Amino acid sequence: QDACSSCTNLTTTPQPKDMTGRSLSSSQNENGIFYDEDGNVDLGEMIEQSLFDDVSKLIRKLPTKSKIHVWSHSIKIRNENGHKKVAERSENVAQTRKLICDNVMLYIQYLRYLYLDRKTVPLNSEYVKPFVEDCANFIHSHYHPLEQHRFENEKLYFPIMLTAYQNYLRYIKSVLLVCGWFRTQSEEYIQNVPQDLFPHIQRFYFFDEENVSIFMKEYPF
């Protein structure tokens, strides 16, 4: 299901530049959203730019009422009678992923709201899910369980987690640049390769596994 439209009823309407912190580039649509050749929202490109930073900025501006709505839409469990109810904390990575999905969809929806874009089809969670899988695993492994009270009442609680993941991706990029330099100097840097970084590196740089292995020498994590 899509993120509910009532979440966009903010108390104030910030200027678009306040949300992204930068001017629109030539590769962006006029509403600040990246699109691929087929006209789909290019979340991969947006993640490489700073999607999770931008989503975190939006969450900081959400009133408590909207955050209560987002949580209740995302984090649910079944009671003894088999009926769904809102949970006080997350229990698994799937719930974390759903919360991230809803916030990403809310961010895209809010950009369209700012720019009065009513032509494009809203995102759905099935489309967004693969793009946020790694972020969900990162947050689940570092911050589990997520707590309802803190999400709804602490301004920086969830935004800090999203920013931490975006910084993690930036760190990977920096390491790649350094390792690329080492590769040009010598082949003596062959060590164990951190396999868990392959999906991130291949996704953003399209290197094959052999090149990635060479790049990551001498860089244990």
Q: What is the pLDDT along the chain (221 residues), one digit of tens a residue?
A: 555 555 544 433 333 343 434 444 435 565 678 888 888 889 999 998 899 999 999 999 888 989 999 999 999 988 878 788 999 999 999 999 999 999 999 999 888 877 766 666 678 999 999 999 999 999 999 999 999 999 999 999 999 999 999 999 988 887 777 666 555 544 444 344 455 555 554 444 433 444 444 444 433 33
Encode 38-51: b = buried (16+ Cβ within 10 Å), e = exposed: eeebbbebbbebbb
| Chain mean position to CA 48 | 10
* Residues belonging to the chain: 221
* Residue the block writes with tokens 């709505």: 69
At residue 118, the pLDDT reads 61
At residue 188, the pLDDT reads 42
At residue 75, the pLDDT reads 95
At residue 193, the pLDDT reads 43
Q: State the Cα angle at 158 between 53 and 131, rounded to 5°.
A: 55
Output the pTM of the full model.
0.70
At residue 7, the pLDDT reads 52
At residue 156, the pLDDT reads 95
Q: What is the CA radius of gyration of the chain?
A: 19
* Residue the block writes with tokens 């990403």: 104
Task: Name 147's bridge partners.
Answer: 89
Other CB atoms within a 10 A radius of the CB of residue 137 amount to 16
Q: Counting runs of H as helices and runs of E as strands, what totals does the chain give? A: 10, 2
